[in-house]
Structure 1
Amino acid sequence: MVRFPPPPFSQSKKSAMKNNYKIRLFKNGRCPYFLIFFSLIILCTDINAYILEPTKIDGKEYISLDDICEIFDISFDFQSYPRKIVLKSENETITLLPFSPQMMISRSATSREVVGGSRVYILESPPKFKDGIIFIPISFIGKAFGEKALESLKEKKEAKIKTIVIDAGHGGKDPGAIGPNGLMEKEINLDVAHKVYRLLNSRLPLKVLMTRKDDIFVPLFERTKFANSKGADLFVSIHCNAAFSPKTKGCETYFVSPALDPDARAVEVLENSVIKLEFEESKILKNNYLASILEDMAYYEFVRESSFAAACVQNNLSERLNLENRGIKQALFYVLRGAASPSILIEIAFISNPEEEAKLATESFRKEVSEAIFNGIKEYLTTGGTFK
C-alpha cells in the first residue's frame, strides 16, 4: 500500500482492529452489490474476485482507499489545503473531507448522459487516517457505485420523528439582509416558512410548529428554547443569503459545527450579528454569551443527523430551483446551537444578487422553494431520520 506522511489534522487514538470476517469483491465494471451470508460479506458482480479483510476503527468497518482505487480503477489525490481527498475516474470526481462524513460526487456530461451535475451524500462515518493509510467506511461503496450495493446491509427502520419546528429567520426590528431593490429578508423567510408549514401539515402525519407566524422579533435563544420545550425532533431555520459582491449567487444549507472556510465564517458572522439586538432586549451579558459558545458543546450529539438532513434539503433545492449548488456547509450559528435535536439552516438564495432578489420577490419561485424544502425534509424522514 502507498503510505503517506502524518496528516495535518488529529488522528484517531484508538487502535485499528481486524474483523473476524472478510469481504470478497468481484469486479467487471458494472455496479456491484452486497450479499450477507452469516458473517461473510460478499461484494460481487461477475468476474475478477478480490478478497479483503475490513479494518475496524472506533467500532466501525473500513476499507483502505488504496484497495478501493485498485479494484475500481480510480485514482486519488490527498490535498493538504484545502484539506480534502479527491478521487477521479473517467467521467466522475468524488470529493471526501477528512474527518467529515460529507461526500460529493460530480459527474461530467457524456454522450450517454446529456448533462452532468453534483450531489452530496453523507457517509455513516468519516474517512480515517491510520498508520499513514487512508481508510474509507464501507458505506462509501454503496454511495459511489449505487445504493443497491448496501441495501441488504441496511436494517429497515421507521423514522420516529413526530414534531418539526420551522423557524422564519429574523423579523420585527431585525429585517435581516435587504436587497438592492429593497426586498427584505424577513418577509421572504416568513412567507416561505408558512408555505413549508402548510405542506408538512397537509401531507405528512406530523406536528409542525413555527417560531414566529407574524412580523415580530424573536431572540435567537428563544427560538431553540421554544423548539426544545415542544420536544422538536427536527429544527429548520429558513433564511436568504447576502454577500458584499452582487455577483455571488446560489443556495446552501448549513448544520452547526465550526466553520471550515471563509465564506461559511462570513455567513456565520452575518446571521449571528442580531445578537447585539438581543443584548438590549434580554440584557444577556456578552461575555457570558461568548463563554457559553466555548463551554456548551452538547450540539455535537446531533452533528451527523443534522448533516444528513442538510444534504437532503440542499440536493432538492439545487435540483428543483436550478440554482448554483454551493453545497452543505457548517458554521456555529447561535440559532442552531441550542437545539436539542438535529437542526439545519437554509440559505435559499442571495438577496444581495439582483437576479436572485427578483426571483425571491415572485410568488411562483417561493412556492418552488417551499416544495423543494418539503421534499428534502420528506427524503430525510423516509431514509432514516432520527431514531429514539
Structure 2
Amino acid sequence: MEVISVQTSTNSYQVSIDKQIRFKVNDFIKKKYSSIFIITDSNVEALYLDDVVSTLQKANTVNYTIVPAGESSKSIRVYFDIITQAIQCGLDRQGLIIALGGGMVGDLAGFVASTFMRGIDYIQMPTTVLAHDSSVGGKVAVNHPEGKNLIGNFHPPQAVIYDVETLHTIPLMELRSGYAEIVKHSLIHTPSFWDEMKTVNVTKPLYDEDLMKHLVKGISVKAKIVEEDERETNIRQYLNFGHTLGHALEAELGYGEITHGEAVAIGMLFAFRVSSYTYNVSLPYDELFTWIKKNQFPTNLPSVPITKLIKRMKKDKKTKNQSIQMVLLKSLGEPTVTSVDDRDLAYLLEKFMRELVEK
C-alpha cells in the first residue's frame, strides 16, 4: 500500500492507495461516529456501493443517497435535496459522510459535509483517476450556471481511501480525463516529469502498478502545494494550469458535454500558446498536442464565440479587477500567474480555436 501524508494548517490526513481497500474501510475510520451517510452516483452504485456498505455495517449505522451521474448533479438543487435526506436519516454533528465516486461526487459530498450543521467530518473514496486531484486538498464546491465551482468552501477530509481496482471500470473518456490532471502536475512540478507522462497511452490497458505510480506522482505534487498554501492565496493557484480556458469551455458548452479533464487538456495547450507569446519561450506544444490526439481527446469542438469564452474566463476565481489571470509557464516546471490583456487574449484564442479544428 502507498501512503501519502498531507499536513495543512487545519488538518492532517493520509491518502492510502492500494487494491481492494474498499473492503477495509473500517480500518481507516479513526474514531467512533454516530452514523455514516454515503453519497454516491448512479454509475458507482451498481459497482461498489454494496461492497462499501456491507463492510461498514459490521461496525456502524449506515445510510446512503444516490445522485444521477454527471456534472449536472453538482448543483444547489441536488445539494439541498441531499441535506434534506441527511436530516431525515438522522445524521447529526457526530456523523460521518463518505464520498464514494469521482470528482463530481467528491466535490458535492465535501460541500455537503462542510455546511451540514456548520460542518462535519467526511472521507473521500475516489473511483476515478480524475479524483486523485479533486479528493486531495479540501476544496469542495457546487457549480453555478454562471461558472464552475463558484459556490464552495475549504474543508479537508479525514482520509482519502483510493482503491485502484475501481479504475478498471471507468470508461475511456473518464480515464483520459484523469490523466490530463496528472499531466498537468507533470508540467508544473520541478523537476518536470512530462517526459515520462508523454509516453502514456490510456487507450491501451494499464497495469495496477503503473496506475499507482502515476497516482502517487500526481498526488504528491498536489499534497506539497496544498501544504504550503491551503487556501489558494499564492502557489496553489498553479494547480489551475489549463483551467482558465478549461472551465470556460465546460460552462459554455454545457456541463457534461465535455469532461473536466478533456477541457483542461485543451486549456493547457492554449496556456502553452499564451506562455510562448508572453515570455518568448519554447514549450513542447507539438508533443502535448500529439499526446492529446494519441489518447483520443476531442479537439473538434462546437463553435463557441470568442467573446463568450472571454466573458466566462472573466468569472474565473483568479480574475482581479476584471483582468484575466492565467497560470502560464516560463519553462517546464516554472509556473507563474500572469495578467493577460483582453486584446491579446482574443487574438490568441481566435487563432488557437481555429487551429484546433484544422489540425
**TM-score normalised to structure 2 length:** 0.26
Q: Highest CA radius of gyration, 1 or 2?
A: 1
> Which has the larger share of strand?
1
> Which has the larger share of helix?
2
